Chains A and B, each alone.
Chain A
Amino acid sequence: MKGYLGIDVGSVTTKMVVINEENEVIADNYLRTGGNPVKVVQDGLKDIEGRLDQAMPMEAVGTTGSGRYLAATLVGADIIKNEITAHAVAASYFIPQVQTVFEIGGQDSKIIIIRDQVVVDFAMNTVCAAGTGSFLDHQAARLNLPIEEFGEYALRAHNPARIAGRCTVFAETDMVHKQQTGHNREDIIAGLCQALVRNYLNNVAKGKELLPPFVFQGGVAANRGIKAAFESELEQEVTVPPHYVLMGAIGVAILAREETALRGEKTRFKSFEVAEADYRTSSFQCSDCPNSCEVVQLSLNDEPLSRWGSRCRKWEV
Chain B
Amino acid sequence: MKTRKSAAHSRSTAKQCRFSGSAVRQPKASVGIPRSLLYYHYFPLWKSFFEELGLEVVLSSPTNKKILENGVKKAVDDICLPVKLCFGHVMELADKVDYLFVPRLVSVEEDAFTCPKLIGLPDMLRASLDKIPPLLDTCFDLKAGISPYRSFRELGRKLNRSSRTIRRAFEKAEQRQDEFRKAMQKGLTPSEAMEALKTKNETRLTSAASERKTKNEELRIALIGRPYNLYDGYLNMNLMEKLRQLGSSVITAEMLPSSIMEKEASRWRTEIFWTFGRRMVGAAFHFFNGGEVDGVISCIAFECGPDSLLGVLIEDEAERHKDIPYMSLILDEHSDETGVVTRVEAFLDMIRRKKR
Contacts and interface: CB of A to CB of B under 8 A. Distances in A.
Interface of A: 66, 81-85, 118-124, 126-127, 207, 289-293, 311
A84 B332 CA distance: 22
A106 to B, nearest CB: 13
A290 B346 contact: no
Contacts of B350: 84-85, 118-122
A17 to B, nearest CB: 20
Contacts of A81: 345, 349
Given A120-B350, A291-B65, 10 more contacts: A66-B338, A82-B343, A83-B346, A84-B346, A84-B350, A118-B353, A118-B354, A290-B61, A290-B65, A290-B66
Interface string B227-245: 0000000100010000000
Contacts of A83: 342, 346
B20 to A, nearest CB: 40
A47 B325 CA distance: 41
A81 B353 CA distance: 13
Interface of B: 61, 64-67, 234, 238, 302, 315, 319, 322, 325-327, 330, 332, 334, 338-339, 341-343, 345-347, 349-350, 353-354
B219 to A, nearest CB: 15
B330 A127 contact: yes
Main secondary structure of the interface of A (DSSP, over half): loop
8 contacts: A118-B354, A121-B326, A122-B347, A124-B339, A124-B342, A127-B334, A289-B64, A311-B238
Main secondary structure of the interface of B (DSSP, over half): helix
Contacts of B354: 118-120
A118 B355 CA distance: 10
A55 B152 CA distance: 79
A83 B343 CA distance: 9
A311 B330 CA distance: 20
Nearest to B354: A118
Contact of B346 (A85, A118, A127, A289): A85
A84 B353 CA distance: 13
**Which 9 A-B pairs rank lowest in CB-CB distance, beginning with the nearest?**
A84-B346, A290-B64, A126-B330, A82-B345, A290-B66, A119-B350, A85-B349, A82-B346, A291-B64
A66 B330 contact: no
Nearest to B345: A82
Contacts of B325: 120-121
B342 A66 contact: yes
A66 B343 CA distance: 11
B349 A84 contact: yes
Contacts of B327: 122-123
Contacts of B234: 291, 311
B322 A120 contact: yes
A123 B326 CA distance: 10
